[in-house]
Structure 1
């Protein structure tokens, strides 16, 4: 029997990102957890927001993966304000990362937040939730085996087991 974990991730990934997703899913499965994601493992017949809520209520933890989904090569941040500034080569995650992380936070699910180097804003800002934000070059697979990731992952895993829906 698996402990279900919600995984916030884009549905469209490049080949390197797919490889990392496979490794993360294997790591979860090796600890008795099953990754669940709208549009990948679950295909509900309700609105996306309702589907996320329903699925999260079945899960005992959440992983938020900030993969780059948009590259702004040149733009303006906060146009027309005193804080207006030129920006370039800005990476953005899927907006669903912020929505799903907020929902998981409100449901008091143990959170594991992982972002690609360069992803910032919202859930990926240090101090937003009180949880550590793990930052790696996600396409480089060696980070997933390093103690700097595995030790916090193991601590999160313990929280998930304590929160397990099976224990309720």
Structure 2
């Protein structure tokens, strides 16, 4: 994880704290003694909402999507998030807690595809340090926050 990504996480955590919420992350705030998948499930069931952050974890400079099929196509400089984003978002969706989905510009696939969950997908550019304070992010964030409060009662 690079410095800009850490700074983005810090900004989101700060925004959560300002609203009286606390971010919980396996490997940072929670260190369970079970398998990773079980740990995610256990932690998710203790949460009132989920924030899914899509950062590039893998970059494919040259590759082929769906090889040896009629949908085969060349791909260039594709950025992929961690597979755990898909797992965490799916678990949150299945247990019915509010989802806030945020992706870095260029991230797509699965949970980051528009229309997958019916939720807005927030896309940001790490070069714009103020995106987290813009109305285009804060209004949907506040709607998610209200859902979290309702879910918490």
Question: In which range does the TM-score fall when normalised by the shorter chain?
Answer: over 0.9
Please name the residue that 1:8 is paired with: none
Q: CA RMSD in A?
A: 0.8
Larger RCO of the pair (alpha carbons < 8 Å, separation 6+): 1
Distance 1:135 1:22 in 2: 17
> Deviation digits for residues 22-69 of structure 1, max 9, x if unmatched?
111000000000000111110000000100110011100000000111
Among 138, 146, 149, the alignment partner of 1:161 is 149
The structure with the greater share of residues assigned to strand is 1
Among 31, 35, 48, the alignment partner of 1:47 is 35
Instruction: Summarize the Cα distance change of 1:115–1:59 in structure 2 as closer, same or farther, 3 Å threshold.
Output: same
Instruction: Summarize the Cα distance change of 1:77–1:111 in structure 2 as closer, same or farther, 3 Å threshold.
Output: same
Q: How many residues align?
A: 153
The runs of 5 or more residues in structure 2 that have no matched partner are none
The runs of 5 or more residues in structure 1 that have no matched partner are 1-12
1:106 deviation in Å? 0.2
TM-score if structure 2 supplies the norm length?
0.98
The structure with the greater share of residues assigned to helix is 2
Among 8, 13, 16, the alignment partner of 2:4 is 16
Distance 1:114 1:103 in 2: 16
Moved over 4 A (4+): none
